[in-house]
Amino acid sequence: MPVPFADLQLQYQIIKGEIDGAIAAVIRDNAFIRGPYVDAFEREFASAVDIKHCISCANGTDALYLAMAALKVKPGDEVITTAHSWISTSAMITHAGATVVFCDTDGATFTIDPAAIEAAITPRTVGIIPVHLYGQPADMGAIMAIARKHKLWVIEDCAQAHLARYKGQQVGTFGVAATYSFYPGKNLGAMGDAGAVVTNDSALAEHMTMLARHGGLVKHQHRIEGINSRLDGMQAAILSAKLPHLPKWTKARRDAAMVYDAGLNQIEDVVVPSVAPDRTHVYHLYTIKHPRRDALAAQLNANGVQTAIDYPTALPFLAAYNRFGYRPEQFPNAFGDQSRILSLPMFAEITRQQQDAVIDLVRRF
Ligand SMILES: *Cc1c(COP(=O)(O)O)cnc(C)c1O
């Protein structure tokens, strides 16, 4: 049985009427840039993630840039983030003008190790960007305590963690701002690029809005030099059509993860995702560890099961960071994981038969 890694076409077919209607409405109303569909999605998304302000933008990468630019990071400032993420997280620290400082993960949850943060703080540290990787919240209790103690800001990278919770509280509501991606494959995905930055701080919200809109809130009144980072009306309408389905889709992902857990956790050499007791994982990715990862992936792929490696190289070891000359022993968990991690097919519509086929292949391997 072929099992795709994700099935965006199937999701579209299930809600085709709603999506087609949303696209037709934007065309009918000529509401391509800004306008009522963008405003509506910003309101709806803010409410869905329990926060006051949502500023939509072009993608989740820009969202990180906007948050840091609004916090006025400057050359010499150090921003701490995790060694295990997508490159947007660290690259935007550099593009915003600061210096990226990597920390290792905790060895269990794939998220940043609070003890490593504490050890990385210097007089130049200004902020921390934890990433709720694969959909599991980072240890926000410990991270916020460190931030308060050292007077640092926290921006949460929620690109993989829509509706995830830490001790019952939604991710994205702990730090001063949080960023989201609506890349098509994310838990809430547009049909193109899309992103948002959210905050409860009204002054910061206004500043981020200006930065994203050529530096002004009113046309031709550019108070600062901004960038052009817009969510277009079509993507906003598509996201508004999908948003009401997100809680149900999230539950389906969590249920599918339980099926994988039960089927895989007795198999020798397979390490299923470890979820800390205080965290609600939303399984953007279901990522196992296996000592012979490449051979396992080859066997699954040869039998029609798509897999992915997120990510094959931990951030400090990418060519982009050769200038720092990092060594594996500085990031033992992130480095060790890069050769063991394997993401299995995971999407809201995955069937029991598809999951059984995956589990069976892993068992036979
Ligand atoms: C997807 C992602 C981003 C970037 O989002 P884009 O919309 O692709 O720019 C940033 N951080 C993490 C952790 C991501 O997974």
pLDDT tens digits for 27-43?
999 999 989 999 999 99
Check residue 39 and give its pLDDT. Answer: 98
| Residue ranges for the chain with pLDDT beneath 70 | none
Q: Is the CB of 287 under 6 A from ligand 1?
A: no
- Which residues, 6 or more positions from 359, have their beta carbon under 8 angstroms from its beta carbon? 259, 260, 263, 264
Check residue 1 and give its pLDDT. Answer: 80
Residue located nearest, by CA, to atom 6 of ligand 1: 60
Structure-token pair, residue 237 = 């309408």
Give the chain's domains with CATH numbers. 8-244 (3.40.640.10), 246-364 (3.90.1150.10)
Tens digits of residue pLDDT in 219-259: 999 999 999 999 999 999 999 999 999 999 999 999 999 99
Q: Is the CB of 195 under 6 A from ligand 1?
A: yes
Tens digits of residue pLDDT in 264-278: 999 999 999 999 999
Q: Is the CB of 159 under 6 A from ligand 1?
A: yes
- CA 83 to ligand 1 centroid distance, Å: 15
- CA 283 to ligand 1 centroid distance, Å: 15
Q: Is the CB of 61 under 6 A from ligand 1?
A: yes
In this structure, what are the phi and psi dihedrals at residue 166, rounded to the nearest 5 degrees?
A: -120, 120
Locate the ligand 1 atom nearest the alpha carbon of residue 284 and give its number: 15
- CA 207 to ligand 1 centroid distance, Å: 22
- CA 159 to ligand 1 centroid distance, Å: 5
Q: Is the CB of 90 under 6 A from ligand 1?
A: no
Q: Is the CB of 229 under 6 A from ligand 1?
A: no
**How far apart are alpha carbons 294 and 365 in whole angstroms?**
12
Answer whether 162's CB lies under 8 Å from 155's CB.
Answer: no
Angle separating helix axes 16-28 and 233-242, nearest 10 degrees: 150
- CA 297 to ligand 1 centroid distance, Å: 24
Answer whether 140's CB lies under 8 Å from 131's CB.
Answer: no
Q: Is the CB of 60 under 6 A from ligand 1?
A: yes
- Which residues, 6 or more positions from 263, have their beta carbon under 8 angstroms from its beta carbon? 355, 356, 359, 363
Q: How far apart are the first and last CA of the chain?
A: 16
- CA 60 to ligand 1 centroid distance, Å: 5
- Which residues, 6 or more positions from 354, have their beta carbon under 8 angstroms from its beta carbon? 1, 3, 345
Structure-token pair, residue 157 = 């990278």
